[in-house]
Structures are given as C-alpha cells and as structure tokens.
C-alpha cells in the first residue's frame, strides 16, 4: 500500500540514515560522552586534600613540623611546607585549600576562603586530623566503601544523558528539519499537492519517535554493559516517560520552528530554549542545589520533570507512581506547544 | 466545455509603506488543451499571478476559477487534478529520483506510475541516483516529473528553464510539447521570448501587474508593426542627429520606428521595399551606417514597442 503517511515516514528515514554524520552525532556521540564521563567519574581514588603549613608563624619551624606530623595522621591529607608568602600564593591560585599558621603554645590560625568548596573541605579535614591527633582516646570509626549500583555518579548521569538526548533530538529533529524544508521551499511544494497536512506532521512525529527509541535503547544497553547501570524500576513506566519526553520536545521543536525562515535564526532559538534547561534542570548535578527561590521555576521546566521521572524509575526503582507528575508536566508542555505551533505554522 | 482557467479583476497588494501592488486588475482565460504563456520581465507580477491561480496565495480581490472549480470550495478536488513545478524547490538530497517521484505519487489518488513519470522526463538512467547528484537540468526535469505523476489535466510551470543550458531547455520543451499533445493544458511563465514563441499557443504579456498584450505570438508580432525588423546602426552621433525618426517612419511599409543602441529599429512589413528606400535616405543625409541588418520580429520587439523596455532586463531605456 502506497500510503502517503508511509511514504513521508520512509522519506524521513532515508534522509536520516543515509547521512552517516547525522547518525554519528545522534547515536554515537551520546555513547562517547557517557563513556568518557562514566570512566572519568568511576572509582575515583579517595580525594586528596592539599593543605599548606607556614613556617613563618610564631612557632616557626618546630611548630610547623609538629602540625605537619599531626596532619599526616589522616591519609587523605597532602602537606606542603612553605614560607608565609609561598603559602598565600598557593592558596590564591588554588593549589591548596587551606594554610595553617602555627602560633605559640600549640595554637594555630587557619587561613582560607570559606566560599570555596575545597577550602571548606580542607578546613574540616585539617580540624579533624588535628583534634584526633590531640585526643588519641577518641574511638575511630571503621570506614566501609559504598559502591552499590544506583548510587554512583554514572547512575545519576545516564538518566541525565537520556534526558538531554530526548530534548536535543526533539528540538533539532523536528524544528531544524521543518525550517530546512521551509528554506528549501519543500513545504510549499508539498502544499501544492493534495497531501494532507496531518499526514506530514504525523510523519515527523512518528519518525522522531522511532529515532528516539533506537537512541535511548542503545544508550541504556551501553550503560548497562559498560557500567552496570540498570533500570531498577518498571520498564513500562520508563517507556512511557521516554515517549512523552520525545513527544513533548518534538512539540516544542515544532513551536520553535513554526514561523522561522532561516537556519541561523532557528539555531539561535533552539539554543536559547535548550541552554537554560541544560544548566538548570539537573543533567550533570542535582537541580536541588540551586537556590530555593529558583526552585519553582526549575520544577516546571519539562526537562526537570523528565529527569526526575527517569531517575526515580531507573535509580530508585519506582513504578507507575513516579510517572504521574512528570507525565502531566510533559504532556502539558507538549500539548500546548503543539497546539500553538499548528495555529501559527507557516507553510510557505 | 468550460475554460481551464478563468481569472477576472485579480488584485494582489502586499501591505507595506508604500503598499506593493503586485497584480493590478488582471483578467485572463486559458482554454483547455492550450499552452498559455505569462510573459514579462522580472518583477512584472507573473509568479504572484501564477501562485494565486495555483491556490498558494490568496488574492486581495478578484475571481479565480480552475477547471471550473473555486479554491474556496474545492481545494482538494483541484489539487488532485493539477501539477505544479515551483520556481525554486530543493527536493530532498538523499532520496533517489524514483523515490522522490514515488513520494509525490502517494499524495494523489490516481495518476501514472512513478516509472512512467521518470520515463516521461527521460531520467530512466538516473532513476536510482540521489537527487543531490543531478545536474541543474536534471533536477528541473525531476521537478516536472513530480508535477506529472498525478496525471494532471493542468500543468503549471514557473520559469522552468531559467538558468539552464540550451540543451536542457530543449529537453524541457519536448516534455511540455508531449504533455500538450495529449490534450492537456499548460500554464507557463517565462521571461525568455523564444521559449514563449516556440511553446505557447497564446501569451499574455504582463507588465506592472497588468496584461498589456494578449494573443498568439505571430499575431502579436504582426500587430506591433510587422514581422520584420530592420536594425540600422550609425557610425557616429552626428550622423544619427542628421537622421530624423520622422523621415524613417515615412519610408514605404515601415509601421514603427524606435531608437535602439546607436541607431534605430524599424518595423517593416516588406523589407525588400523598405530597404532600398532606407539606403537612398541614408545617402541623401550623408549618414554612414555602421551596421545594417534585417531579422524576423520577436516578442521582445513587441514588448519594446509596448513599453520602451526590453523583456530580459526590465531596465528603463537610457
């Protein structure tokens, strides 16, 4: 059966799979990215904490040596000794997080920047090392490494990558394609035939859904084989989130592209839409870390909703219960964008 | 039988400051089985007129009827029965010729097979080549194949040969002639007068959004003052000044005189009568011709006679 919808979908497939570079950027690049990031963050050796001890304090060399010996009781600490000037310089350029200046009679001053995470860490580490050295009777806790799948950084990262793929795929895959066709006057040419507009838009969505499913499957299988990242929750719930995510971002892509007439402006618009979500929605680190005042905004963004849902299902082992809120947010964004896009859509 | 196309009092004004009046009260009628040409310089309003008839553009006012149907009421029915080749469409690069035609075929409920359409434009050898590998002429033929695949009663071609080499142009003309030979109707726009003369049964010469002449090309040429043109170029300005246009117009069988590059063009019914008289006049005035020739009149001469401008450049005379 030579149905127009089938032909239009086939056309999308042909245009896509016959361009090796497109296939690489859509399917290969996310794998590469997750591979590199996964390896980079997997099984890191315990973080080293650099701390400097100044030899120019009132206690001079002897006090400095004493502090150094106490610090070395903590295996995480790397100690460097130097003049006051050298130590301050190293602190300024970030080579060390904390400078300890020994004073008389066992007292010491901490010199550090409380706003730097590494300084805060160095201060706490130094303090605990010095206290423990002075109070050997304190009980030492036994440390047990926690490296269970589901709690590692890679487990956090993979749903993030699935999310940004759905976003990028939906926006570029629909928006860019539409503008390209408009620039080529292909939309106008199609309009000059008895083609049904519904078939055309449906073909875009169907082909997008297929590309996305392939993409997500490849990424998840890779993450499972390479890093043991498993889906702990319900697969059906995951599939629903993926499909809703693809549809939602496809709708936004169509909206972005609905009246744009040049490739340059659609590229700019896409970036304007995607960049804030990249930064705010918790792709690489949890969105909770942003200030409370921003949370209401962050929570209604579609990518945040999608990532919350994906992480709940993949990492926390959630079932359908975790899908409700993300599904509502995604469906709302998708439906509203799609409706506005259809109304404003410029065919010629 | 009703006309293939009937247009009356068509007006299209684009809003702006000042508003652009692209089409100003244009009327025409195209009979079935006819190849009709819209001829005019760039910016005359040809494409705007064509796109309104094709239902791709809404007119500001006026009445359009295609195959006896109105766009407002019968868009689907009209679309099924017309084929359109736009001025500039870049078809998908990584589709083959056959796949492209097959895609367009799927939009029509009836039509010829994709292979037949590819054969109709002689692209069989390229059927499995990607569109991006085709030459300009081949791409244009593919565009026409996409317009033919629905087996239309009415074919629209917007400047189908602009930018093509002479060989490719002739190939396209053959395709149009073969289509017309099956009793179908063609509406074509062009700014090539030779194309209009060779292909079209009738032409409408359009300028500033209005029809300024309508008829069969030979008829228009006759009306503009004769089938023959005598071009005389003079050696220098002094000689040109000595020669008055009025004197030339009084020569036997000369119907019209107009200045051309460094001389005059005379429309003459009988060059064998007019030429000896012209030579005698030149001798009397002491004007030495730098060039003298006769040729058959073209639609360009018609256009120049009507507007004082040439079709191709659309520039004002110096």
Q: What is the pLDDT of residues A25-54, one digit of tens each?
A: 888 888 888 888 878 776 566 678 889 898
Q: Looking at residue B315, what is its pLDDT? A: 43
Residues A112 and A247 in one domain: no
Which single residue is written with the structure tokens 């093509």? B164
Q: Looking at residue B313, what is its pLDDT? A: 55
Q: Record the tokens describing residue B24, joined without a space.
A: 């100003």
Residues B187 and B234 in one domain: no
* Domain-located, residue A198: yes
pLDDT bin (cut points 50, 70, 90) of residue A322 is confident
Q: Looking at residue B311, what is its pLDDT? A: 65
First CA to last CA across chain B, in angstroms? 48
| Minimum-distance CB partner of B103 among A7, A18, A194 | A7
Q: Looking at residue B215, what is its pLDDT? A: 92
Residues A27 and A175 in one domain: yes
Q: Looking at residue B314, what is its pLDDT? A: 45
Q: Output the tens digit of pLDDT for each of chain B's 318 residues.
A: 578 999 999 999 998 888 889 999 999 999 999 999 999 888 888 999 999 999 999 999 999 999 999 999 999 999 999 999 998 888 999 999 999 999 999 999 999 999 999 999 999 999 999 999 999 889 999 999 999 999 999 999 999 988 888 888 898 999 999 999 999 999 999 888 888 888 999 999 999 899 999 999 888 888 877 778 888 888 766 656 667 778 888 888 888 888 877 788 888 888 888 889 888 888 888 777 888 888 888 888 888 888 777 765 544 433
Residues A177 and A296 in one domain: yes
Interface contacts A/B by beta carbons within 8 Å: 70
Residues A121 and A198 in one domain: no
Counting Cβ atoms within 10 Å, is residue B110 exposed (0-12), middle (13-18) or buried (19+)? exposed
Domain that holds residue B260: 225-296
Q: Do the bridges between strand B289-296 and strand B228-234 make them parallel or antiparallel, or are there none, so unpaired?
A: antiparallel
* Domain-located, residue B207: yes
A95 with A104: CB under 8 angstroms? Answer: no
B134 with B62: CB under 8 angstroms? Answer: no
The closest alpha carbon to A246, from A302, A328, A188, belongs to A302
Residues A119 and A267 in one domain: no
Q: Looking at residue A108, what is its pLDDT? A: 85
CA-to-CA distance for B62 and A184, rounded, in angstroms? 30
* Domain-located, residue B23: yes
* Domain-located, residue B312: no
Residues A183 and A328 in one domain: yes
Q: What residues of chain B have any CB closer than 8 angstroms to a CB in chain A?
A: 54, 56, 76, 79-80, 84, 86, 88-95, 99, 102-109, 130, 146, 150
* Domain-located, residue B140: yes
CB contact under 8 A, B106 and A4: yes
Q: CB under 8 Å to B138, separation ≥6 — which residues?
A: B123, B126, B168
* Domain-located, residue A139: no
Smallest CA–CA distance from B77 into chain A, residue? A194
A283 with A159: CB under 8 angstroms? Answer: no
- Which of A284-302 are b and which e, b meaning 16 or more Cβ less than 10 Å from the residue's Cβ? eeebeebeeeeeeebeebb
| Minimum-distance CB partner of A18 among B94, B102, B107 | B94
Residues A242 and A188 in one domain: yes
Render A44-74 in DSSP notation, one character per residue: PPPPPEEEEEES-STTHHHHHHHHHHHHTTS
Q: Looking at residue A61, what is its pLDDT? A: 82
Which single residue is written with the structure tokens 């020739």? B293
The closest alpha carbon to B156, from B79, B218, B72, belongs to B79
Q: Looking at residue B317, what is its pLDDT? A: 39
Domain of residue A81, CATH code: 3.40.1710.10
* Domain-located, residue B104: yes
* Disruptive mutation site among B86, B106, B111, B144 for chain A (greatest number of A CBs within 10 Å): B106
* Domain-located, residue A140: no
Residues A304 and A320 in one domain: yes
Q: Record the tokens describing residue B50, joined without a space.
A: 């064509």
B121 with B97: CB under 8 angstroms? Answer: no
pLDDT in tens, A200-253: 988 988 898 888 888 899 999 999 998 888 888 889 999 999 999 999 999 999
pLDDT bin (cut points 50, 70, 90) of residue A269 is very high
Overall number of domains in chain B: 2
Show which of A107, A134, A161 is a domain's final residue. A134
Overall number of domains in chain A: 2
Q: Looking at residue A82, what is its pLDDT? A: 87
CA dihedral sign, ordered A87, A91, A92, A94 = positive
- Taking residues A251-279, report their average pLDDT: 91
Residues A292 and A200 in one domain: yes
Residues B203 and B238 in one domain: no
* Disruptive mutation site among B74, B77, B107, B154 for chain A (greatest number of A CBs within 10 Å): B107
A228 with A150: CB under 8 angstroms? Answer: no
Give B-chain residues touching A191 at CB under 8 angstroms: 56
How big is chain A, counted in residues? 348
The 3-class secondary structure across chain B, one letter per residue, is CCCCEEEEEEEEEECCCCCEEEEEEEEEEECCCCEEEEECCCCCCHHHHHHHHCCCCCCCEEEEEECCECHHHHHHHHHHHEEEECCCCCCCCCCEHHHHHHHHHHCCCCCCCHHHHHHHCCCHHHCCCEHHHCCHHHHHHHHHHHHHCCCCCEEEEECCCCCCCHHHHHHHHHHHHHHHHCCCEEEEEECCHHHHHHHCCEEEEEECCEEEEEECHHHHHHHCCCCEEEEEEECCHHHHHHCCHHHHHCCCCEEEEEEECCEEEEEECCHHHHHHHHHHHHHHHCCCEEEEEEEECCHHHHHHHHHCCCCCCCCCCC
* Domain-located, residue A143: no
Q: Looking at residue B100, what is its pLDDT? A: 96
3-class secondary-structure state, position A2: coil
* Domain-located, residue A242: yes
Which single residue is written with the structure tokens 């701390």? A51
Residues A268 and A332 in one domain: yes
Smallest CA–CA distance from A1 into chain B, residue? B106
Residues A167 and A252 in one domain: yes
Question: How far B88 CA lies from chain A's nearest CA (Å)?
Answer: 7
Q: Looking at residue B138, what is its pLDDT? A: 92
How far, CA to CA in Å, does A3 sit from each of A6, A65, A198, B107? 5, 84, 13, 8
Residues B119 and B192 in one domain: yes
* Domain-located, residue B237: yes
* B108 φ, ψ (degrees, to nearest 5): -105, 140
Q: Looking at residue A42, what is its pLDDT? A: 66
Q: CB under 8 Å to A93, separation ≥6 — which residues?
A: none
Which single residue is written with the structure tokens 């972005």? A256
Give B-chain residues touching A207 at CB under 8 angstroms: none
- Taking residues A178-190, report their average pLDDT: 92
CB contact under 8 A, A194 and B109: yes
Q: Looking at residue B265, what is its pLDDT? A: 86
Residues A168 and A276 in one domain: yes
Name the β-bridge partners of B30.
B5
* Disruptive mutation site among B50, B52, B94 for chain A (greatest number of A CBs within 10 Å): B94
Domain of residue B60, CATH code: 3.40.50.300
Q: CB under 8 Å to B169, separation ≥6 — which residues?
A: B137, B161, B192, B195
Domain that holds residue A222: 4-41+149-344
Q: Looking at residue B82, what is its pLDDT? A: 95
Give B-chain residues touching A3 at CB under 8 angstroms: 106
Q: Looking at residue B240, what is its pLDDT? A: 61
| Helices H / strands E in chain A, number of each | 15, 4
CA-to-CA distance for A132 and B110, rounded, in angstroms? 89
Give B-chain residues touching A6 at CB under 8 angstroms: 106
First CA to last CA across chain A, in angstroms? 29
Mean of all residue pLDDT scores within chain A: 87
CA dihedral sign, ordered A188, A191, A192, A195 = positive
Residues B81 and B167 in one domain: yes
Question: How far A1 CA lies from chain B's nearest CA (Å)?
Answer: 9
CB contact under 8 A, B103 and A18: no
Smallest CA–CA distance from B99 into chain A, residue? A11
Question: How far B200 CA lies from chain A's nearest CA (Å)?
Answer: 24
Q: Record the tokens describing residue A234, joined without a space.
A: 């319900």
């Amino acid at each position: 059966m030579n149905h127009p919808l089938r032909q239009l979908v086939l056309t999308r497939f042909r245009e896509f799979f016959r361009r090796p570079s497109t296939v690489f950027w859509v399917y290969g690049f996310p794998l590469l990215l997750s591979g590199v990031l996964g390896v980079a963050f997997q099984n890191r050796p315990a973080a080293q904490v650099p701390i400097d001890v100044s030899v120019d304090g009132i206690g001079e060399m002897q006090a400095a040596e004493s502090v150094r010996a106490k610090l070395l009781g903590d295996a995480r600490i790397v100690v460097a000794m130097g003049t006051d000037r050298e130590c301050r310089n190293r602190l300024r350029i970030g080579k060390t997080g904390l400078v300890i200046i020994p004073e008389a009679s066992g007292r010491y001053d901490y010199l550090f920047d409380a706003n730097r995470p590494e300084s805060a860490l160095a201060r706490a580490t130094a303090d605990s090392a010095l206290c423990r050295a002075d109070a050997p009777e304190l009980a030492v806790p036994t440390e047990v490494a926690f490296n269970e799948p589901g709690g590692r950084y890679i487990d956090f990262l993979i749903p993030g990558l699935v999310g940004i793929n759905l976003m990028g795929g939906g926006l570029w895959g629909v928006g860019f394609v539409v503008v390209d066709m408009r620039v080529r006057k292909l939309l106008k040419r199609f309009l000059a035939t008895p083609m049904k507009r519904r078939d055309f838009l449906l073909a875009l969505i169907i082909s997008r859904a297929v590309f996305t499913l392939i993409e997500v499957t490849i990424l998840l299988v890779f993450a499972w084989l390479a890093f043991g990242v498993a889906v702990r929750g319900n697969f059906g719930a995951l599939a629903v989130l993926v499909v809703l995510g693809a549809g939602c971002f496809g709708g936004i892509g169509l909206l972005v592209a609905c009246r744009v007439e040049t490739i340059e402006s659609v590229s700019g618009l896409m970036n304007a839409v995607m960049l804030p979500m990249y930064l705010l929605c918790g792709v690489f680190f949890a969105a909770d870390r942003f200030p409370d005042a921003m949370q209401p905004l962050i929570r209604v963004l579609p990518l945040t909703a999608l990532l919350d849902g994906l992480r709940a299902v993949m990492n926390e082992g959630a079932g359908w219960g975790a899908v409700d809120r993300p599904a509502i947010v995604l469906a709302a964004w998708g439906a509203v964008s799609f409706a506005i896009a259809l109304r404003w859509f410029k065919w010629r | 039988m009703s006309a293939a196309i009937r247009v009356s009092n068509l007006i299209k004004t684009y809003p702006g400051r000042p508003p652009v009046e692209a089409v100003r009260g244009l009327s025409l009628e195209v009979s079935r089985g006819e190849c009709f040409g819209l001829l005019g310089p760039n910016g005359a309003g040809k494409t705007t007129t064509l796109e309104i008839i094709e239902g791709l553009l809404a007119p500001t006012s006026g009445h359009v009827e295609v195959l006896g149907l109105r766009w407002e009421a019968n868009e689907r029915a009209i679309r099924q029965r017309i084929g359109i080749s736009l001025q500039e469409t870049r078809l998908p690069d990584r589709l083959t010729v056959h796949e492209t035609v097959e895609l367009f075929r799927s939009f029509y409920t009836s039509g010829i097979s994709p292979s037949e359409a590819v054969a109709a434009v002689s692209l069989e050898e390229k059927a499995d080549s990607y569109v991006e590998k085709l030459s300009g002429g081949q791409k244009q033929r593919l565009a026409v194949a996409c317009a033919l695949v629905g087996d239309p009663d009415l074919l629209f071609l917007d400047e189908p040969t602009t930018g093509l080499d002479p060989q490719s142009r002739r190939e396209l003309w053959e395709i149009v002639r073969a289509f017309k030979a099956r009793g179908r109707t063609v509406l074509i726009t062009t700014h090539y007068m030779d194309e209009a003369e060779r292909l079209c049964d009738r032409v409408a010469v359009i300028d500033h959004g209005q029809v300024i002449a309508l008829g069969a090309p030979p008829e228009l040429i006759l009306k503009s003052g004769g089938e023959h043109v005598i071009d005389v170029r003079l050696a220098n300005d002094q000689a040109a000044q000595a020669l008055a246009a009025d004197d030339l117009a009084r020569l036997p069988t000369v119907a019209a005189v107009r200045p051309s590059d460094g001389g005059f063009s005379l429309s003459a019914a009988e060059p064998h009568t007019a030429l000896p008289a012209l030579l005698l006049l030149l001798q009397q005035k002491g004007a030495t011709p730098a060039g003298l020739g006769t040729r058959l009149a073209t639609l360009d001469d018609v256009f120049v006679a009507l507007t004082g401008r040439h079709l191709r450049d659309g520039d004002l005379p110096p």
